[in-house]
Amino acid sequence: MFKIAKATVAAPLMPGSLDLTHRSQDMLAQISISEAWAGEFSSGIIRLGDWSSMLHGLSAQECGLLSLLRCYDPKDRGHILALFEQATTLSSSFCFSTTIMMPNSLRQPVFCMGESSGVEEKFSGSMAGVFIFPRFKLEGANQTASRQQAQAS
């Protein structure tokens, strides 16, 4: 899945739509790990959280787009790069899903949703979003993020 849309066509927030009940938060934590990320166009740096950098197999929380792309399934990289390139030319919302190919042959699914803003201004603009890592094994994978790992932090 690779989607991009103009930011102005996104559904508006409805009153109470950001109010998650305790049960919703528990269910989200039971089935996934989610974490925010941000990127600045002027520097080209993407800032990941602790979980995102670890689950991407990266040693640092700051990286460039190409370092991030190298983590993903090779057949998806071109689509994801095109999506990010589009988002840097027009303020928009986007999403994609792929698999992280870890050095130890494990495969971690990941969903990414984000938006770009400030693109119309020369030499500026940024992106922000969230990674969602489902807690299930892929066929042929030995392990993925487990509930015990998330509870330990």
Average pLDDT, the chain: 79
Query: What's the pLDDT score for residue 116?
Result: 92
Query: What's the pLDDT score for residue 13?
Result: 46
User: Which whole number is the average pLDDT over 96-121?
Assistant: 86
DSSP state of 72: B
Stated pTM of the model:
0.76
How far is Cα 43 from Cα 71, in angstroms, rounded to an integer?
Answer: 21
CA triplet 122, 123, 127: central angle to 5 degrees? 105
CA 6 vs CA 3, 28, 41, 97: distances in Å: 11, 27, 18, 19
